[in-house]
Structure 1
Amino acid sequence: MKRLVFLIGFLLPLLAGAQQAVSFSGYVKELFMYYQPEQQIPGLDRDNLTTNTIHNRLNFKWYPSDQLTVVAEMRNRLLFGSLIREYPAYQSVVDVDNGYFDLSFVPAQGKGWFMHSMFDRAYLDWVSGNWQITAGRQRVNWGMNLVWNPNDLFNSYSYFDFDYEERPGTDALRIQYYTGMTSSAELVYQIGENDDEMALAGLYRFSQWNYDIQFIGGWVGTDYIIGTGWAGNIKGAGFRGEITHFIPKNDEVDSEMATVASISADYTFPNSLYIHTSVLYNSHGQKGNAGGMDPFLNNKLSAKYLSLAQYSLFAQASYPVTPLLSASLSGIANPNDGSWYFGPAFTYSLQNNLELMATGQLFFGDQGTEFGDIGQLLFGRLKWSF
């Protein structure tokens, strides 16, 4: 019922304003995945799994006035292959909406395939003078780092979910006030069924000493939070960091005090070689074997639980081999249990709006470690944008 009320109330103004100024864009992708598990899957008479995902995105914006913008964006995916055929319950893993409004649904399905649709953006954006108010499903991006974002309180994402460039959104009311050319204050209220699913937090951002600096505070779910972040450079190299401290609201909730921090540096050489390194610290992370990371399902992912390990190390290098071909190598290591991840990627531009990509997510380590029980995944993707 909440989904129906939300969609009717939101889409009727869009249809009524069809004659006004609008913009429409999107893309179509075909993603193939080959998965070689580290261990034989119980009950499965095969040692590999495959999926094909035909992914269509639709982005619609309506400008009824100079001050108001109405946005509706959705993703539609057709999934099929041995993973869906062997594990019919995988549909329930995909058809999940963590927002207050359930805007995720399965319009069609069959034996070994299903189609999944979801509105991940649906909001009204109003701007007047120094004020900006956004209401609805939106992305509230407070992160400043490029891989791990302890300041990104409202819609955390996994680095391994590379095929979701837009990142998830949250059902919230966001009020922003621009105090200057490079400074602003904002307040975000995330709606939920109860206090443990709600959030109310504020941010103040300003520039000083050639750095963008921000401070955050409030409460998110079961925790009070306070944190800071920065982005600047040291002799031409980007230098970014985020720190958030989580304090349980009371002793009765299922939570724990924690500090999560990440620091990163990146640099582009004159020959266009790009390098990037980052470190993540979780005070409540595992000091020993941190087994349990699932590349397909990580519902516990949040700014407080960005990794299972106490320490994580990241490194990346990318280079444009030709004007049309680029190559990238990335890796993540858990220094406590010795497990690690390696991700090669190659992207080739066939046309201005047509791109071919091949990448891998290769996990290594002993049994019971963070990455040791996962296996190897290979991907091929063709993307057409319009």
Structure 2
Amino acid sequence: TSVDLTKTWREDENWSTRLHVDSLYLRGRHGSLRWSAGRQPYGFGNIVLYSPLDIIAPFSPDAIDTEYRPGVDALRIDFATHRGDLLSYVTVWDDDESLNSYLATGSFNFTGIDLLLIAGQLRDREMSGIGLAGGFGGLGIKGEMSWYQGKDVNTAGGDLHDEFAIAASELWYRFDNDLMLLIEYLYNGAGTEDPSHYLQAANSATISEGLNSLLGKNYLLFAPSIEIHPLLSLSLLGIWNLDDDSYLVRPQLSISLGENLALDVSHTLNRGSKPQKGILPGLTTPRSEFGMYGDSAALYLRWYF
């Protein structure tokens, strides 16, 4: 964000209080033209688990809360055509002016198939992308790909590659018993296939800027979910690194506690080869992505008012 709308009291004390304004913008409309300016949520792409077209403040694939998207400082202009297509332009401002983003997007529908296009400059990278979404019977089919010109390659904190692409295909199906299943193959061209280079990937620009959160290149993601009771639903998230055979599994139970109150209970399991100890104390070499992390549990309480 380019404007500091955060205030902290008693910073670095035993307890502190923070106020953060996450959404504050003006919007207007004139005929088919709509505009909004200020801190606002912005998302793009149709794939649910990990969308290569969701490039402005995207969610991590293992994020627990994806219901509310954090705001970014942006100017957005939308134009709706007579046939229902949407043409858009967005400028996103950053603290560092050189990392501002300027993007044009288009959303179209042709005989039941959604087409998404995006192109422009993302934080000093030239980029473009395309997405398709449709269905065959009860099977939902989506595919997306984005391409980037790398920046600051071969320098500390830069991209790993001169050029890279991120692509994914996702299948969606709801069974007769209301079990819903999402399966996605992801190619992460911003990462690396060599586990010994994971630390370098973790310090790359795509990770620090939030564009990417995975270190490897080839992944299989799956997410079944089912409503056990009107007040109780069960879901599972799996992320499998196909290059080093490590994986993350997270079962999650969602409980409705009242009309405006809900509780999510989850347990994340990370499995894979543990890092190899180096010659010097405290130095290790990664041998798998998810083997570097420990397990965790979370309680997430949501109150709507």
Query: What interval of TM-score do these two structures reach, taking the shorter chain for normalisation?
Result: 0.7 to 0.9
Specify the SS of the correspondent of 1:366.
Answer: coil
C-alpha distance in 1, partners of 2:215/2:300? 29
2:58 counterpart (147, 151, 156): 156
Change (3 A) 1:355 1:167: same
The 8 Å contact of residues 291 and 373 in structure 1, kept in 2 or not, is answered as: no
Q: Per-residue deviation at 1:220?
A: 1.1
Q: Which residue of 1 aligns with 2:110?
A: 208
Q: Which residue of 2 aligns with 1:186?
A: 88
Q: Per-residue deviation at 1:246?
A: 0.5
C-alpha distance in 2, partners of 1:252/1:191? 26
Q: Which residue of 2 aligns with 1:24?
A: none
C-alpha distance in 2, partners of 1:268/1:308? 31
| Segment of structure 1 superposing worse, 180-189 or 329-338 | 180-189
* Residues 4-32 of structure 1: CA deviation (Å, up to 9, x unaligned): xxxxxxxxxxxxxxxxxxxxxxxxxxxxx
Q: Which residue of 2 aligns with 1:169?
A: 71
Report matched runs for 1:78-117 at 5 Å: 99-108=1-10, 111-117=13-19
Q: Per-residue deviation at 1:108?
A: 4.1
The 8 Å contact of residues 148 and 306 in structure 1, kept in 2 or not, is answered as: no
C-alpha distance in 2, partners of 1:208/1:164? 29
Specify the SS of the correspondent of 1:333.
Answer: strand
Change (3 A) 1:310 1:251: closer
C-alpha distance in 2, partners of 1:195/1:181? 37
Q: Which residue of 1 aligns with 2:181?
A: 275
Q: Per-residue deviation at 1:352?
A: 1.8
Specify the SS of the correspondent of 1:161.
Answer: coil
The 8 Å contact of residues 156 and 301 in structure 1, kept in 2 or not, is answered as: no
C-alpha distance in 1, partners of 2:272/2:16? 34
The 8 Å contact of residues 341 and 363 in structure 1, kept in 2 or not, is answered as: yes
Specify the SS of the correspondent of 2:144.
Answer: strand
The reply to whether residue 123 of structure 1 matches residue 31 of structure 2 is no
Q: Which residue of 1 aligns with 2:191?
A: 285
Change (3 A) 1:126 1:229: same
Of structures 1 and 2, the one with the larger relative CO (CA 8 A, separation 6+) is 1
Count of residue pairs the alignment pairs up: 284
C-alpha distance in 1, partners of 2:54/2:265? 29
TM-score normalised by length of structure 1: 0.68
Specify the SS of the correspondent of 2:98.
Answer: helix
Q: Which residue of 1 aligns with 2:259?
A: 352
Q: Per-residue deviation at 1:157?
A: 2.0
The reply to whether residue 300 of structure 1 matches residue 300 of structure 2 is no
2:248 counterpart (319, 328, 341): 341
Q: Per-residue deviation at 1:301?
A: 4.8
The 8 Å contact of residues 261 and 280 in structure 1, kept in 2 or not, is answered as: yes
The reply to whether residue 141 of structure 1 matches residue 43 of structure 2 is yes
Mind listing any 5+ residue stretches in structure 1 that lack a counterpart? 1-98
Change (3 A) 1:301 1:146: farther
C-alpha distance in 1, partners of 2:296/2:61? 15
2:99 counterpart (197, 201, 204): 197
C-alpha distance in 1, partners of 2:7/2:96? 23
Q: Which residue of 1 aligns with 2:231?
A: 324
C-alpha distance in 2, partners of 1:258/1:300? 17
1:224 counterpart (115, 123, 126): 126
Q: Which residue of 2 aligns with 1:315?
A: 222
C-alpha distance in 2, partners of 1:236/1:227? 27
The 8 Å contact of residues 157 and 168 in structure 1, kept in 2 or not, is answered as: no
Report matched runs for 1:23-62 at 5 Å: none
Q: Per-residue deviation at 1:357?
A: 2.1
Q: Per-residue deviation at 1:127?
A: 1.3
Change (3 A) 1:384 1:129: same
* Residues 78-108 of structure 1: CA deviation (Å, up to 9, x unaligned): xxxxxxxxxxxxxxxxxxxxx1112223234
Q: What is the identity percentage for the equivalent residue pairs of Structure 1 and Structure 2? A: 27
The 8 Å contact of residues 224 and 249 in structure 1, kept in 2 or not, is answered as: no
TM-score normalised by length of structure 2: 0.85
1:362 counterpart (250, 269, 276): 269
Mind listing any 5+ residue stretches in structure 2 that lack a counterpart? 275-285
Letter in 1 for 2:112: N
C-alpha distance in 2, partners of 1:361/1:252? 34
Change (3 A) 1:261 1:281: same
The 8 Å contact of residues 193 and 217 in structure 2, kept in 1 or not, is answered as: yes
